[in-house]
């Protein structure tokens, strides 16, 4: 059972071409790519412009319609053995778009750094924070960014006595 989505490339690209407002354009592209973080799209737009995003999006959609791109840590032999789990071994549409941007021969490493530096900086800061919290024996629940102190209720109850 193949649940692969087929994208209507022609209509998507026409709609992208017709959107004049930068924010509306980025929101539309982010919606297609199923991306919540739009900062790298804004960076690409400001550095490489709308045409680059449209061309890369078109290439991404064609690749996805043809079956997608394997994740880098999967080899073809493992893929053949686990045909039922194929979808887990294929990059998402957003991951494919980012992969195409990062591996493009048209973009220098300096420009790539400008596009993605904020994400890397955020990830590095988050790692440092988690390390510090871990050293302080503070549990962190990452999925909704809440921080909990262990045994918080016990301490409260002891002070009530």
Domains by residue range for the chain, with CATH: 9-107 (1.10.10.1440), 122-161 (no CATH)
For residue 138, give Cα distances in angstroms to 32, 133, 144, 150, 160.
38, 5, 16, 6, 22
Q: What is the pLDDT of residue 161?
A: 46
- The answer for residues whose C-beta is within 8 angstroms of residue 147's C-beta and 6 or more apart is 133, 138, 139, 140, 141
pLDDT in tens, the chain (161 residues): 345 688 999 999 999 999 999 999 999 999 999 998 888 899 889 888 999 999 999 999 999 999 898 887 655 565 555 555 556 788 999 999 989 998 888 777 887 777 777 655 666 677 777 777 777 777 666 554 555 444 444 444 444 54
DSSP 124-150: HHHHHHHHHHHHTT-EEEGGGTEEE-T
Q: What is the pLDDT of residue 2?
A: 44
d(CA 116, CA 75): 27
Number of H helices, E strands in the chain: 7, 2
Q: What is the pLDDT of residue 136?
A: 77
Residue 58's SS3 state is helix
Please provide the distance, in angstroms rounded to a whole number, between the alpha carbons at the two ends of the chain. 61
Residue 70's SS3 state is strand
Indicate the pTM of the whole model: 0.64
């Amino acid at each position: 059972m193949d649940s692969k989505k087929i994208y209507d490339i022609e209509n998507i690209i026409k709609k992208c071409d017709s959107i004049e407002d930068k924010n509306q354009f980025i929101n539309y592209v982010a919606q297609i790519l199923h991306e919540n973080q739009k900062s790298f799209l804004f960076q690409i737009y400001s550095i490489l412009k709308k045409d680059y995003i449209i061309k890369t999006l078109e290439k991404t959609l064609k690749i996805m319609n043809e079956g997608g791109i394997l994740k880098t840590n999967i080899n073809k032999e493992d893929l053949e053995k686990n045909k039922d789990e194929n979808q887990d071994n294929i990059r998402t549409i957003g991951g494919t778009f980012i992969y195409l941007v990062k591996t493009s021969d048209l973009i220098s490493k300096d420009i790539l750094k400008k596009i993605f530096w904020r994400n890397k900086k955020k990830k590095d800061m988050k790692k440092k924070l988690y390390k510090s919290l871990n050293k302080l024996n503070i549990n962190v629940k990452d999925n909704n960014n809440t921080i909990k102190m262990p045994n918080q209720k016990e301490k409260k109850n002891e002070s009530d006595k």
